[in-house]
Amino acid sequence: MKETSFLEGLAKMFDRAAVVLGIPAGLAQQIKTCNAVYQITIPVEFRGDYHIFKGWCAVHHEHRLPTKGGIRFSPTVSQESIEGLAALMTYKCAIVNVPYGGSKCGLQINPHEFNEAELERITRRFAKELIKKNFISPSENVPAPDMGTSQREMAWIADTYRTLRPGDINAIACVTGKPRAQGGIAGREEATGRGVQYALREFFRHPDDASKAHQHGDLTGKRVIVQGLGKVGYHAAKYLQEEDDCRIIAVIERDGALVNEKGLAVEEVKKYLLETGGIAGYPNGHYTVDGKTVLEHDCDILIPAAASDQITRDNASRIKAPLIAEAANAPVSFDADEILKKSGKVILPDIYLNAGGVTVSYFEWIKNISHIRFGRMDRRLDEKRGSEIINAIEKTVGKQVPEEIRDRIILGAEEIDLVRSGLDDTMRLAYQEIRDVLLLRKNVQDYRTAAYVVAIQKILAAHKEVGL
C-alpha cells in the first residue's frame, strides 16, 4: 500500500481534530490551506560558472503577524515539504502562545557541497529575492535557522536586509537565531533541544501520563535513543544526560549508528562528529552502518531529531520504544502514526515538542524590537533587594545565612536565566493545555490530536476576534 504523502497526512491529522471540534468544513479548509507560496530560481556565479538554485517560501496562515518559520537548506526541499512545514509552524505557534502565523522557506541545496564563501553568496542572493517580495521583514515574515542553516546564515541574511532597508529601525528583527553580537539572544542555539528536555520533564511530572507509556519515576536512568546529533538532537541529548541522568544508549547519524548500553558520552560523540564529519570509527560504541534499524532497538524514549519520514509504514510495526518524542518535524508519517497508536505507543508530537525554538525566537524578536537586553533594567535592583532581605533575616535571627544560599538569593537574573525560565514556563503550560483536552474530551485519545485541537481552537478564536 502506498504511503500517505506529507501534505495529505497533515490534512488528515488536522481533520481528525476539526471533527472533534465540529467546525464547518469550509472554515476547516480555510485554516489548513496555505495562503501564499513563492517559488524562485536564483543564479549564483562561482567556480567560473553560473549555478542555478531553486527555492520556496510559503506563508501558511496570517491570523497573527509576522509569520514565522525556519529557513531550510537541503536537497530534499520541495514545494510540498515547505508548504507542510509552514502549516506545522502555524499550529506550533498557537500551541505555545507565540503570536505569529506560520511560514517556511527553503533552498534545494546540499550545503556540504559548497565552501563558506560560496554559501554566503548563495544565502545573500536567496535573501535578497525574499526581501524584495517582503518574504523577509520584521513585521511580515521572520525566518530562523532550520536544518542546514545556523547563526551564520542568519547573520548574513540580517546584514543583507540592513543593506537593502537602511531606514528600518527594526531591521535586526528580520530574522532570529542570530549570533549574540548581531542581536541574537542567549539560549537560542540550545532552545529547541532544551524545549524537548522541559517537555519530557513535564510529561514525567504526571505519573498517570508516564504510566501510559509504561514509564515510572522521573527521567533518571531512562534509556534514550537519539537520531540526529545536530542543533536539536545534540542539545536535547546533552541536557538529558547532564541534568536528568538519562542514559543515551544510541546515537543515529547520516553515516550509521553508535550503540552502547552503558551510555554514550554525548559531548565526546559530537566532538568526534564535528572533527571527522561522521560517527564511523568512534571508539567507545558499537558502530553499525545501517543506522535506521537502530530506531527499532529497545529503549524507554526514542527521540527522532534529524529529518522527516523516518518512521513510516515500513518500519512502524517494529518500533519498540513505548515513548516517541518528535524533536524533528514530521519524523513519523501519518500511516506510521496510526500503526504506532494501535500498538499502544505514546507520541509527543512535533507541533508541541519542538516548539522551544520558535518560543525563544519570539523572545529574541521582542528584544530586537524593544532595543534592550532582557534584565538590563532590573537585574541590579533584584540583587539589591535580595541583599536587603538577607541582611534583615540575619539581623532578626542573629545568625549568618550560609554563603552559598546568600549568593543564590542575591544573584540577579541574567538573560540566559530569563530565557530558560520563559521557555520552561511555556513548555509546561502548553503541555497542561494539551493534557486538559485529553482529560476533558473523551473522543480524543492521543497527544497529537489533542495538540491540534488546542491549536485550532486558538486560531478560530483569533479569527472571531477580527471578524473573519
**Rounded Cα gap, residues 189 and 233, in angstroms:** 12
Least distance between ligand NAD and beta carbon 186 (Å): 15
Residues annotated as catalytic are: 104
What are residue 101's DSSP bridge partners? 67
Residue number of the CB atom closest to ligand NAD: 230
Going by C-beta distance under 8 Å and a sequence separation of 6 or more, which residues neighbour residue 211? none
Closest contact distance (angstroms) between CB of 110 and ligand NAD is 11
Per-residue burial over 307-319, b if 16 or more Cβ lie within 10 Å, else e, is bbbbbbbeebeeb
Of 28 and 59, CB closest to ligand NAD: 59
Residues 6 or more apart whose Cβ sits within 8 Å of residue 171 = 138, 158, 161, 162, 165
User: Are the beta carbons of 419 and 187 closer than 8 angstroms?
Assistant: yes
Q: Name the residue nearer to ligand NAD (CB basis): 114 or 444.
A: 114
- For residue 101, which of 465, 468, 454, 455 has the smallest C-alpha distance? 455
- Bridge partners of 44, per DSSP, are 51
Residues in contact with ligand NAD by the rule CB under 6 A: 145-148, 192, 227-233, 252-254, 291, 305-307, 327-329, 354, 357
Of the chain, the end-to-end C-alpha distance in Å amounts to 40
In angstroms, what CA-CA distances link 412 with 231, 381, 383?
Answer: 29, 8, 5
Nearer to ligand NAD, 31 or 191 (CB): 191
Nearer to ligand NAD, 228 or 285 (CB): 228
Cβ 9 to ligand NAD, closest distance in Å? 15
What does the longest C-alpha to C-alpha distance in the chain come to?
80
In whole angstroms, the minimum distance from the beta carbon of 386 to ligand NAD comes to 34
- Whether residue 331 contacts residue 306, with contact meaning beta carbons closer than 8 Å, is answered with yes
- Closest distance to ligand NAD from the beta carbon of 130 (Å): 18
